[in-house]
Amino acid sequence: MSLRFLYNILINIAWLGLKVIALFNAKIKLFVQGRQKAFPLLKEQLPLNSKTVWMHVASLGEFEQGLPILERLRSKYPEHKLVLSFFSPSGYEVKKNSSVADLVVYLPMDSNYKAKRFLNLVNPELAIFVKYEVWPNYLYHLKKRGIPTILVSAIFSSRQIYFKPYGGFMRKSLGKFDHYFVQDENSKKLLESIRFTNISISGDTRLDRVSKILERNNQLEFMDRFKNNQLCMVAGSTWLEDEEILINYINNSKEKVKFVIAPHEIKPAHIEKITSALQKRTVLYSTIGNQNLKEFDVLVVDTIGLLTKIYSYANIAYVGGGFATGLHNTMEPAVFGIPIIIGPQFEGFKEAEDLVNEGGILPISSKDSFDNLVDDLLNNPISIKNIGAINSNYINSNRGAADLIMKHISKIM
């Protein structure tokens, strides 16, 4: 029995299992029902004989990495239809109406039959997979059909199955790509260690994305009123572990500074927990109206979609998730040239690892280490400026991945 045959059996069993779980789990229900709609959507909305480019991403983070390429494809190849597929409901449900692609769908399960059916309907001239996405049946049939297929913003670790003695099947699937655009030298060396070639070190396309943030209007009228030309610390995408440390500092701080907390969880019960614990004058974004915001010390942002612009008002940023749940986006505040504080768990987040080493991102491990660090920064404006410059310089010096990838694409389309 071949490993590919066994893989197909397991994929079909997994699909049956997911359909059962979907009866009791809302997220899995989206996962299943969304995939059941993928083929009808393709039939209805993708005209026959369209010239297409297909990009596949896992979720929102990978979408952000793919976006600079999608935007350039739209500009350079306006006659082509862009098909974007997601693996995760958390990505698809947020971006299903995005205008950056002509059609956004869930990726059907990676069975032999569904992979062939998907490719029959999409019939791409080029397939682009982002970061970690390696699906054996899709890659097998793309290779079999001679469709150029590239992996972009990829990053590899020796812990991954491709580099293990027992990883032959997945290693063979990974080998189906025609070109690899990797984020760093270590990833290139790992691919070369398993005799892969056609590798370019391009960096992370997300840096092209975040660098564009500076070109837009980031002004927020309510932030002008709230900050009132004072020092401001913005804590974004915070979780409970982060908020305990932040609230302790805010309640005990004697510094003249404004605080913004934009939690990851914005359900009313969680927002109430934050506001009830704060002892300083606090206002919710949803209730600001025409209030005199300069009278408040803390602004709690109980909505989504504003955080990036709010970071533009920060003198110091705290990015949540580094205590357990997974570090959130540190590049959005970094682009504004400000120091960034994070929790202790940042391994596997390349840009965070780089900037911790360079001194632009500052990890803390406890309330005491946070208190001491913030006090030192607030009392040393030169240090704030110098540390922030490390972050903006990092982004400026690592841009250009999307342009490098587009040069390659222009040669094969």
Domain map (residue ranges) of the chain: 3-203, 218-398
Q: Does residue 61 register a pLDDT over 90?
A: no
Mean pLDDT of 106-127: 97
Q: Do domains 3-203 and 218-398 have the same CATH topology?
A: yes
pLDDT in tens, 181-200: 999 999 999 999 999 999 99
Averaged pLDDT score across all residues of the chain: 95
Instruction: Say which CATH class 3-203 falls into.
Output: alpha beta
Q: Does residue 337 register a pLDDT over 70?
A: yes
pLDDT interval class at 123 (50, 70, 90): very high
Task: Decide if 62 is catalytic.
Answer: yes
pLDDT interval class at 177 (50, 70, 90): very high
Q: Amino acid letter at 76?
A: K
Instruction: Say which CATH class 218-398 falls into.
Output: alpha beta
pLDDT interval class at 145 (50, 70, 90): very high
The confidence score (pLDDT) of residue 1 equals 61
Q: Looking at 44, 62, 133, 255, which residue is catalytic?
A: 62
Residue 255 near residue 230, CB atoms below 8 Å: no
The pTM assigned to this predicted structure is 0.85
Distance CA 151, CA 194 (A): 16
pLDDT interval class at 72 (50, 70, 90): very high
Q: Does residue 103 register a pLDDT over 90?
A: yes
Q: Does residue 207 register a pLDDT over 80?
A: yes
Mean pLDDT of 124-138: 96
pLDDT in tens, 264-315: 999 999 999 999 999 999 999 999 988 999 999 999 999 988 999 999 999 9
